[in-house]
Structure 1
Amino acid sequence: MNWVLIKDKSWQSLERNFEWVADMSGVRQDPRHHAEGDVAVHTQMVLDALQNSVEFEALSESAKEILWTAALLHDVEKRSTTVLEFDGSITSKGHAKKGEYTTRQILYELGAPVQMREQIAALVRHHGLPLWVMEKRDPQKAVIESSLRGGSTQLALLAKADVLGRTCNDQQDLLERIDFFEALCREQQCWFTPRYFETGLARFDYFRKDDSSVDYIPFDDYKNDVIMLSGLPGMGKDFFITRNYPGMTVISLDEIRRKNKIKPDDAAGNGWVIQQAKEHARILLRRSEPFIFNATNITKQMRSIWIDLFTTYKARVKLLYMEVPYQQWLQQNRDRDHPVPEKVIQRMLQKLEVPLSYEAQTVEWIF
């Protein structure tokens, strides 16, 4: 049976069951772009526009649920980002980015399948891209990235519903922008399917370098392998290593902390821990020895720092993201020899960025 957010999709049911839906009521929008009213009114109009579209009706039940849920959540964080500017305008800068994190947390707690959850989160994050793609520094790379995450056709359907679900004077212009987005996606061969790359290294190289060609296939001259783990505390990374890689050298930030009696919230101490890990890694990299790097690595920025280090020494990185269901995760953390306070791991969950397919030469999700 396909996962659904909720069976009763009436607005009254949504407000009654989800606090974050109720929060949409009263969140103001700039009348120049949203003369229809607040976020609650707009979201209902978007859902209606989506469900009444011919394209939506042609989708599978699973695909419908993904798009419907993304439409429901696309403006979920206007509640926390909306401000009245000095000139009288109303803005909500950053609501899509913050909405991605909120969507991930909500759907993880509700038990949505990982792939489904991440596609919805990506649609929320990029829902404005079809309207503003030409304002991106690299429009080509932006549409290719969106195709690898939420899907280009799905994103265009969401954007179209977002435009039709509002009252504004430039509606026709916005719809034409979506048509241009489609044309750009077709040109980049990522409209119906994600953009194809010959190898994982080609995909990694394209997104890592500003001046790389999407069709370039780099020569694989990497010397050794680094297995890099990613996952919240309590996901079972240590057990996974013991079971699958017995005897392999492991660099573990937690182990360095424990050996040196450094607390996780000691900022200065953690800086020293990272330096120790980097030096150990450099020694192994110079020898071209394979090893495992075990840390939470829950943000793209943090992962990129380590991946840049490893690849500088010509190491091939295999990035493994680990996840278990929400309640199991909480219990596993409690059962650890060194459990992390639940308030801390909940804050970490709010910052989680699940690794994307192009962050390393190989990226796998283990769940």
Structure 2
Amino acid sequence: MWTFTNDKQWAAMARRFPEIRDMAGVVQDPRHHAEGDVAIHTQLVLSALTNYTSYQSLPVDSQELVWTAALLHDVEKRSTTVVEPDGSVTSRGHARKGERTVRELLYTGYRLDTSPSFVEREQICKLVRYHGLPLWIFEKPDPLKTLLQASLEVNTEWLTMLARADVLGRICTDQADLLYRIDLFEEFCRDNQCWGQPYPFVSDEARYYYFTHETAYPDYVPFPEAGSEVVLLSGLPGVGKDTFIAQHLSDWPVISLDTYRRKLKISPTDKQGTSYVVHLAKEEAKTMLRSKTSFVWNATNLTRQLRQQLIDLFTTYKAQVRLVYLEVPHQQLVRQNETREHVVPGDVLDRMFQRLEIPALWEAHDVQYFVPERIESTISS
């Protein structure tokens, strides 16, 4: 079983992990966190969580995931906390930034004896990302769509458990109201078939249709459209995208941004040149889409915004999009990058990973993950 650390004493973790050490002294608004700084709050959250009956009834490996998320849920308040002119304290964006920090910590394996599996890691990351959702979901423009989308990424039962611990681990005058909001969130999940499980869409096409049409209903079944199939690859340089194509799609035509760059001798850092490369690739794609020819789009496609622009283009021509994310262990990634013909500098690769947004199930008609069962690391403390 994977364990974040065997020594869960706060002092020991603070010595080993700067992410935890940095929590000390990070101020919080006393109206909402009269208990003190982020370090004090986090310790109270961990205490509330481990005393929670539902947490104690979880399998041990599940406990470790929720515990780790609770430990790191406010990790990026250190970088986002601002004392406003009126004296209030805010930390906008700390959950989103925290997700990326946690992913980097767990993926690289630095200071860890072993890293979690891909599924374990992403569950922790999404618990961090969504830990405030149970409190604010009914203030979203479309609460139901927000809930069903989150259910595809995070275990809502564990999320609710974390949210309750987060509230119980603070001193505030509105604690009862916050706990009531979480109770409503739980009922909302139960009423909509996504308590502790993803919402059961009847098909991949129905799922994709629901999240791409504002007025769609979750149980609507769309008619299949007669277009080609596009395989959109996503992954860092060096994960083996070319190898994947050779093994699984060797007879498919491939549109590769790198091929265009090398042919035209355009550097990846040349923004104007890259825009021209993307234009040429899109024109080639349109030709294939018009003739209903299936093809592979081979590029890193690290951000959701970039992937969405491409998927919107492909689906305009009625194509079915299969989004394939590839990943290898960090040490293997470094090794494979160093042996490539076109090596990406290490600092550039690190920045690319920091920008990475793992594809979500709702982004395309079909989303697949080609990753190892467990990402091992030999780096220890």
TM-score, normalised on structure 2? 0.95
Amino acid at match of 2:94: H
Amino acid at match of 1:356: A
Where 1:122 maps in the other structure, the secondary structure is helix
Q: 2:214 aligns with which of 186, 196, 210?
A: 210
Q: Percent identity?
A: 52
Q: Deviations over 1:248-285 (max 9, x none)?
A: 20000111111100001101000101101100000000
The residue that corresponds to 1:119 in the other structure is: 123
Amino acid at match of 1:216: Y
Q: Deviations over 1:68-100 (max 9, x none)?
A: 011011000000000010111000000001111
2:101 matches 1:97: no
- Paired residues for 1:154-193 under 5 Å: 154-193=158-197
After the TM superposition, which segments of 4 or more aligned residues of structure 1 sit over 2 Å from their partners?
A: none
Structure 2 residue runs without a partner (length 5+) = 110-114, 372-381
Give the superposition deviation at 1:244.
Answer: 1.9
The residue that corresponds to 2:33 in the other structure is: 34
Q: Deviations over 1:51-73 (max 9, x none)?
A: 01000000011110110011011
**Partners in 2 of 1:137 and 1:88 — Cα distance?**
30
2:349 matches 1:350: no
Where 1:246 maps in the other structure, the secondary structure is coil
Amino acid at match of 1:269: G
The residue that corresponds to 1:15 in the other structure is: 14
The residue that corresponds to 1:324 in the other structure is: 328
The residue that corresponds to 1:65 in the other structure is: 64
2:157 matches 1:153: yes
Give the superposition deviation at 1:362.
Answer: 0.6
Give the superposition deviation at 1:358.
Answer: 1.2
**Partners in 1 of 2:237 and 2:46 — Cα distance?**
37
**Partners in 2 of 1:209 and 1:12 — Cα distance?**
50
Q: How large is the RMSD of aligned CA atoms in angstroms?
A: 0.8
**Partners in 2 of 1:154 and 1:247 — Cα distance?**
44
**Partners in 2 of 1:294 and 1:187 — Cα distance?**
41
Higher relative contact order (CA 8 A, sep 6+): 2
Give the superposition deviation at 1:242.
Answer: 1.6
Larger mean Cα displacement after TM superposition, 287-296 or 214-223: 214-223
**Partners in 1 of 2:319 and 2:169 — Cα distance?**
49
Give the superposition deviation at 1:207.
Answer: 1.1
Give the superposition deviation at 1:243.
Answer: 2.1
**Partners in 2 of 1:234 and 1:241 — Cα distance?**
14
Where 1:242 maps in the other structure, the secondary structure is helix
Amino acid at match of 1:230: S
**Partners in 2 of 1:308 and 1:132 — Cα distance?**
30
2:303 matches 1:302: no
Where 2:205 maps in the other structure, the secondary structure is helix
Query: CA contact under 8 A between 2:45 and 2:166: conserved in structure 1?
Result: yes
Give the superposition deviation at 1:137.
Answer: 1.0
**Partners in 2 of 1:197 and 1:247 — Cα distance?**
32
2:275 matches 1:276: no
2:259 matches 1:260: no
Amino acid at match of 1:178: I
Give the superposition deviation at 1:211.
Answer: 1.4
Q: Deviations over 1:132-166 (max 9, x none)?
A: 11111111111112211111111100000000000
Q: Deviations over 1:174-233 (max 9, x none)?
A: 000000101111121111321100110111111112211111111111321111100011
**Partners in 1 of 2:196 and 2:257 — Cα distance?**
42
**Partners in 2 of 1:246 and 1:214 — Cα distance?**
36
Q: Deviations over 1:87-138 (max 9, x none)?
A: 1100000000111111111111122210111111111011000011111111
Where 1:306 maps in the other structure, the secondary structure is helix
The residue that corresponds to 2:46 in the other structure is: 47
The residue that corresponds to 1:83 in the other structure is: 82
**Partners in 1 of 2:5 and 2:322 — Cα distance?**
37
Q: 2:339 aligns with which of 309, 326, 335?
A: 335
The residue that corresponds to 2:368 in the other structure is: 364
**Partners in 1 of 2:226 and 2:219 — Cα distance?**
20
Give the superposition deviation at 1:247.
Answer: 3.0
Where 2:369 maps in the other structure, the secondary structure is strand
Q: 1:290 aligns with which of 294, 299, 319?
A: 294
Query: CA contact under 8 A between 2:156 and 2:195: conserved in structure 1?
Result: yes
The residue that corresponds to 1:201 in the other structure is: 205
Q: Deviations over 1:309-367 (max 9, x none)?
A: 01110111111100000100011111100011110110011111111111111100001
Q: Deviations over 1:278-312 (max 9, x none)?
A: 00000000000010000101111110000010111
**Partners in 2 of 1:192 and 1:294 — Cα distance?**
35
**Partners in 1 of 2:106 and 2:343 — Cα distance?**
24
